[in-house]
Homo-oligomer: A and B are copies of this chain.
Amino acid sequence: MRTVTPMPKLASNPFKKHQHSQCIRDALHSAEGLCKKNGFRLSNVRKRVLELIWESHQALGAYAILEQLGKEGVKPAPPTVYRALDFLLEAGLVHRINSLNAYIGCNHPKDSHHGSYFLICQHCHIVAEIHDKRIDEEVASLAERERFSISERALEISGTCQHCQETQHAR
């Protein structure tokens, strides 16, 4: 059997203009489906945190989420947000961007992909998630050679997105 390595692809392309409200609806809808299917409880706090992350259209920090929640009612204490984030991370609904201490939504939680890789614009803080089978394979073979058993992997590529290069300034 011949295997063809497919072109790596963006899970979607947040750097391009798009109707972001549609992203949010889709994400929430698929999150609800996933939770129902797996018996996870997508409580109000959890749902609202997920929405806020999607609405921001950027990597969003825990305390930024707290601020937002504060604006729309009683400001909860940090553990509330961190617990919601833990849940969402577990469920695969968000990713943590270590280099930013911030979180982004994941729009394909169903896929049991090997690794997610991220293009992070340092100007606009938009983050694009990438899947790349070639990198997956190379990482796997690397680890195997070292007899290293992988549990997680994170590739964070920081730089400037096309849009910010063109406008030559931070947004």
Q: Are A146 and B158 in contact (CB under 8 A)?
A: no
Which of B143, B160, B161 contacts A159 (CB under 8 A)?
Answer: B143
Is A76 on the interface with B (CB-CB < 8 A)?
A: no
Q: Which residues of B contact A55 (CB under 8 A)?
A: none
Interface segment, one of A33-41, A80-88, A130-138:
A130-138
Q: Are A159 and B151 in contact (CB under 8 A)?
A: yes
A152-B142 in contact given A98-B99, A135-B135 (Cβ < 8 Å): no
Is A157 on the interface with B (CB-CB < 8 A)?
A: yes
Q: Which residues of B contact A98 (CB under 8 A)?
A: 98-99, 154, 156
Binary per-residue interface labels of chain A (95-135) against chain B in the complex, 1 for a CB within 8 Å, 0 otherwise: 00011000000000000000001010110000010101011
This chain's copy number in the assembly: 2
Is A165 on the interface with B (CB-CB < 8 A)?
A: yes
Q: Are A134 and B138 in contact (CB under 8 A)?
A: yes
Is A171 on the interface with B (CB-CB < 8 A)?
A: no
Q: Which residues of B contact A128 (CB under 8 A)?
A: 146
Interface residues of A (CB under 8 A from B): 8, 10, 13, 15, 98-99, 117, 119, 121-122, 128, 130, 132, 134-135, 138-139, 142-143, 146-162, 165
The 3 closest A-B pairs by CB, nearest first: A98-B98, A147-B162, A150-B159
* Other A-B pairs, 4, CB within 8 Å; known A98-B98, A151-B159: A15-B146, A122-B151, A148-B157, A153-B158
